[in-house]
Amino acid sequence: MEKIVIEGGIRLEGEVEVSGAKNAALPIFTATLLAPGPFRLGNIPNLRDTVTIIKILESLGVKIEKLGEGEYEVDGTGLCGHETPYDLVKTMRASCLTLGPLLARTGKAKVSLPGGCAIGERPIDQHLKGLEALGAKIDISHGYVKASVDGRLKGARIIMDLVTVTGVMNIMMAATLAEGKTVIENAAREPEIVALAKFLTAMGAKINGAGSSIITIDGVESLHHVDFDNIPDRIEAGTFMAAAAITGGDITVTGVVHNDLHALTEKLKEAGCEITEAVKSVRVQGPDKIRPIHVTTAPFPGFPTDMQAQIMAVMALADGASIITETIFENRFMHVAELWRMGADITVNGSTSTVCGVRSLSGADVMATDLRASASLLLAGLAAKGVTRIDRIYHLQRGYERIERKLGSLGAIIRRE
């Protein structure tokens, strides 16, 4: 099995460009199911997850051609299927984003129910509640969700019980082709939702309020193809910013949207980093001594859960004790036990962990358990003394494009073995 091997203890320096956002690319691909193509999508990261979503669309009869680096033509004129099987959903939960668009375009969708995953139970009850409110008949049997509607879906007022990113995306996509007005209240406000809304609007959808907690969608009869460039990946950007912090380095991350990174930027400043923002780029200079900070994850614009594992690695080397509280997922501290193996002093109590900074981490053989946990181990490995070998790097390949090459260009000694 492939491993990443890092010789740590090197201060990273230089400039690195951020790739397209995984969590915006996936819903944008599924949104193409709402209209026949051809669409041209740009700034699509080359990741395991994008390969999976492409496979899913192709299995539904959609033709996808790679036009160049990060650029695809998606043609759904031949859409003939309506089923997303377990084999694909089990490798990527976001596969359930086919549910809303398939239902809206074809009147039926059969999608495997995602099971629990490494970071939590992650049910999709809110997706289903929303689609039911739009008039869908939902039947769950043999591990599959079957959704169907006679005629068009009907607009409705939907109050989400909790803030869910892909839940809102699924409902928003379905509502674009519904009859009448849909109002989603207590909606998630993540930049990826705004990106999807922009894509849908370019396709002819009538959407207001994306990025706020109330989104209004006036259904239209049909949507059309467009060309669209994806937004940058704020979590990848954040991971490089954390790399500057943990190695006491000096990294400029280009192609970023500052507002999307605000909560992280503020925390890194608190930790002693010097941050300089320029047009679409951010320079992070790591401190000599990392100051401990307290972090509580929250839906956007709060501190992203997808950066919790990485900030914990940074705090493992802080000059004092930090408190990190995870409020989004119930089991997102799997990286802790691996960080212990590198000498970190972390105690977990329910959803809160106390990270007592140590003077140095030591390289070790560690195992990635999920995507962001892998990123945390990568960061720890960059700062640790000696060699770190990260096993199960397929998790990392789900969300970080050319990561060894990008880190290598900043001076890291890193290779795949």
Binding stretches for ligand EPU (CB under 6 A) = 23, 26, 93-94, 120-127, 162, 164-167, 188, 192, 305-306, 328-329, 371-372, 399
The smaller minimum CB distance to ligand EPU, of residues 364 and 368, is found at 368
Least distance from C-beta 214 to ligand EPU, angstroms?
17
The C-alpha atoms of residue 408 and residue 123 are separated, in whole angstroms, by 38
The smaller minimum CB distance to ligand EPU, of residues 116 and 320, is found at 116
The smaller minimum CB distance to ligand EPU, of residues 24 and 104, is found at 24
CA-based torsion, 18, 22, 27, 28: positive or negative: positive
Which residues are tagged catalytic? 117
- Please return the burial class of 204, using the count of CB atoms within 10 Å of its CB with bins 0-12, 13-18 and 19+: middle
In the numeric block, the tokens 């068009």 are attached to 152
Other Cβ atoms closer than 10 A to 374: 29
The smaller minimum CB distance to ligand EPU, of residues 4 and 94, is found at 94
The smaller minimum CB distance to ligand EPU, of residues 156 and 328, is found at 328
- Helices (H) and strands (E) counted in the chain, each on its own, are 14, 24
Least distance from C-beta 192 to ligand EPU, angstroms?
6
Helix residue spans in 256-299 (DSSP H): 262-270
Least distance from C-beta 160 to ligand EPU, angstroms?
9
- What the block records as the tokens of 138 is 């939902």
Paired sense of beta strands 214-218 and 13-17, if any: unpaired
Q: Is 38 left (phi over 0), alpha (psi -120 to 50) or beta?
A: beta
- What the block records as the tokens of 163 is 């803030």
Cis geometry, peptide bond prior to residue 301 (ω within 30 degrees of 0): yes
In the numeric block, the tokens 């951020």 are attached to 18
Least distance from C-beta 188 to ligand EPU, angstroms?
6
The C-alpha atoms of residue 372 and residue 367 are separated, in whole angstroms, by 12
- Please return the burial class of 91, using the count of CB atoms within 10 Å of its CB with bins 0-12, 13-18 and 19+: middle
